[in-house]
Structure 1
Amino acid sequence: MIFSKGSYVEIEEKRCLNLMHQGVECSHCLGHCPAAAIVYHNGGIYLNKDKCIGCGLCFSDCPTEVFRSKQWDESTIIRDIEDEEWKITEFFCGRHTSPYKMDKNKNRGAVQLPACLSAVSKGAWYEAGLKTEIEIHLDQCKDCPMAQTIPRLEYNVSIAAEWLDASGHSPSFSYIHQSGQGKTKKSLLAIETGLKVTSRRDLFVSLINKGQQLGSKAPVGTNVFPEEPDKKMRNSCLPGWQRRFGEVFQQNTSSKDSANPAYWPTIKISDKCVNCGMCSRFCPSGTLQITVKEGTCNHHFTSGFCLDCRICQLFCPREAISRDREKVRRPFEVLNIYNNPTTTCQTCGCNTAHHSKNLCYWCEQAATSDQELKNSFRKIFLRMNN
Structure 2
Amino acid sequence: MGPPNAAGVFEGVRSEAIAVHQFRCTQVRNRNANCMRCAGACTSGCISLVDGSLHVDADKCVGCGTCATVCPTCALESLNPTDAQLLRDTLASREGDRVTIACRPLIESIGPFMRASACSEVVCLGRVDESLLVQLAERRVNRIELACGACDSCEQKQGLSCARTVVSNVRSLCEAWDIDLDVQVVEGVRLDLLADPKAQLRAERSYAEHFSAGASNPPLAQRADKARFARTDCRIPEDSSVLKVMKDGTLPHFLPQRREKLLTALALAGSEPEGTIETGLWGCVVIDGAKCSSCRMCTTFCPTGALEKFDDEDGSFGVLHFPGSCVNCESCKSICPDQAITILPHTRAAYILEGSVHRYAMRRRAVALNDEHQILNTMKLAIDGDVFER
Q: What TM-score comes out, normalization by structure 1 length?
A: 0.68
Q: 2 CA distance for matches of 1:115 and 1:137?
A: 12
How far apart, in 1, do the equivalents of 2:255 and 2:52 lie? Answer: 21
Given the alignment of the two structures, is residue 217 of structure 1 paired with residue 245 of structure 2, yes or no? yes
Q: Residue 266 of structure 1 contacts residue 303 of structure 1 at CA under 8 Å; is this kept in 2? A: yes
Query: Secondary structure at 2:252's aligned position in 1?
Result: coil
Distance 1:285 1:314 in 2: 16
For residue 243 of structure 1, the aligned residue among 253, 260, 285 is 260
Of 116, 120, 123, the residue aligned with 2:131 is 123
1:291 aligns with 2:310: yes
Q: Which runs of 5+ in 1 are unaligned?
A: 183-187, 189-208, 225-233, 342-352, 382-386
Partner of 2:25: 16
1:177 counterpart SS class: strand
- Judging changes above 3 Å, is the alpha-carbon distance between structure 1 residues 14 and 336 closer, same or farther for their aligned structure 2 residues? closer
Query: 1:111 — aligned with what?
Result: 119
Structure 2 counterpart of 1:111, which letter?
C
- What amino acid is aligned across from residue 337 of structure 1 in structure 2? H
Counterpart code for 1:67: L
- CA gap of 1:254–1:58, structure 2 versus 1, over 3 A, is same
1:335 counterpart = 2:343: no
Quote the offset at 1:327 in angstroms: 3.8
Q: 1:27 aligns with which of 28, 31, 36?
A: 36
**What is the SS of the residue equivalent to 2:175?**
helix
Counterpart position of 2:80: 71
Equivalents in 1 of 2:180, 2:239: separation in Å? 45
* 1:162-201 alignment, distance < 5 Å: 162-174=172-184, 175-178=186-189, 180-181=203-204
Whether 2:346 is the aligned partner of 1:326: answer yes
1:316 maps to which residue? 336
Query: Is contact 1:5-1:52 (8 Å) kept?
Result: no
The 3-state SS of whatever aligns with 1:267 is strand
Residue in structure 2 matched with residue 349 of structure 1 by the alignment: none
Partners of 1:78 and 1:211 in 2: CA distance: 25
Partner AA of 2:307 in structure 1:
L
Of the three residues 276, 282, 286, the one matched with 1:268 is 286
Shift of 1:252: 3.0
Q: 1:141-165 CA deviation, whole Å, 9 max, x = no partner?
A: 4532112321111111111111111
* 1:180 Cα offset (Å): 4.1
Give the letter for the 2:267 counterpart: Q
Alpha carbons 1:101, 1:110 under 8 Å: kept: no
Report what 2:221 is aligned to: none
**CA separation of 1:62 and 1:240: change in aligned 2, threshold 3 A:** same
Tell me the alpha carbon deviations over residues 101-143 of structure 1, each in whole angstroms, 9 at most, x when there is no partner. Answer: 7899xxxx73323421211112222222442301221236453
> Counterpart amino acid of 2:64?
C
Is the Cα–Cα contact under 8 Å of residues 126 and 160 in structure 1 kept in the other structure? yes
Identity %: 19
Tell me, what secondary structure is at the counterpart of 2:59? coil
Structure 2 CA distance for partners of 1:42 and 1:147, relative to 1, 3 Å: closer
Higher helix share: 2
Q: Give distance in 2, aligned partners of 1:50 and 1:269.
A: 43
Higher Rg: 1
Rounded Cα–Cα distance in structure 2 between residues aligned with 1:311 and 1:274: 17
DSSP-derived class of the 2:358 partner: strand
| Contact 1:236–1:284 (8 Å) recurs in 2 | yes
Change (3 A) 1:70 1:7: closer
Distance 1:71 1:34, change over 3 A: closer
Letter matched to residue 26 of structure 2: L
The question of whether the paired residues in 1 share the 8 Å contact of 2:177 and 2:266 is answered with yes
Residues 313 and 322 of structure 1 are in contact (CA less than 8 Å); yes or no, is this contact kept in structure 2? yes
Higher mean alpha-carbon deviation, 91-100 vs 162-171, is at: 91-100
Give me the whole-angstrom Cα distance separating, in 2, the residues matched to 1:376 and 1:42. Answer: 44
Q: 2:159 aligns with which of 149, 152, 159?
A: 149
Q: Residues 129 and 171 of structure 1 are in contact (CA less than 8 Å); yes or no, is this contact kept in structure 2?
A: yes
Structure 2's unaligned 5+ residue stretches are 1-12, 190-201, 206-210, 212-236
Deviation at 1:289, TM superposition (A): 1.4
Q: Give the root-mean-square deviation of aligned CA atoms.
A: 4.2
Structure 1 CA distance for aligned equivalents of residues 122 and 287 of structure 2: 45
